[in-house]
């Protein structure tokens, strides 16, 4: 059994094209010998966003804090906040963005460990 919290996990800047003011924490993954799943936490600073992109695998999300939106395939902004659970299916285009001018937008992202 492994128990962690975010304070102990380093933040890595996300360099992917289209990512602005985003960091990633690899909370649980391959290095913990998890057989299948990896859990990452992304933090988007005010004014930031992930790329508007798609990929051939699903992810499950949980909003930890802040106020944000997820753009869907049609470019529609879907507001999300703490307590929302999200499923992005394979090949669905999406983008997470921070809607607050002052507060970080923090969310969990679960993927197959192959894509951690």
Exposed/middle/buried for residue 99 (C-beta within 10 Å: 0-12, 13-18, 19+) = middle
d(CA 74, CA 92): 10
Of 16-24, 46-54, 87-95, 96-104: span binding a copy of itself (CB under 8 A)? 87-95
Single out the residue of 110, 115, 112 nearest to residue 35, CA to CA: 112
Window 9 to 48, contacts with a copy of itself (CB under 8 A): 27-28, 32-37, 39
- Closest approach of Cβ 35 to a copy of itself, in Å? 5
Query: Is residue 78 involved in binding a copy of itself (CB under 8 A)?
Result: yes
Chain centre distance of CA 51 = 11
Chain positions contacting a copy of itself, by CB under 8 A: 1-6, 27-28, 32-37, 39, 57-58, 60, 62, 70, 72-73, 78, 80, 83-90, 92, 94, 108, 110, 112
């Amino acid at each position: 059994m492994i128990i962690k919290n975010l304070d102990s996990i380093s933040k890595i800047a996300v360099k992917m094209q289209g990512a602005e003011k985003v960091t990633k924490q690899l909370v649980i993954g391959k290095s913990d010998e998890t057989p299948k799943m990896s859990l990452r936490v992304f933090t988007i600073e005010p004014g930031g966003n992930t790329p508007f992109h798609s990929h051939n695998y699903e992810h499950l999300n949980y909003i930890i804090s802040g106020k944000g939106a997820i753009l869907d395939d049609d470019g529609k902004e879907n507001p999300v906040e703490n307590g929302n659970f999200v499923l992005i299916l394979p090949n669905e285009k999406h983008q997470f963005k921070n809607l607050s001018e002052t507060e970080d937008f923090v969310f969990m992202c679960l993927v197959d460990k192959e894509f951690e």
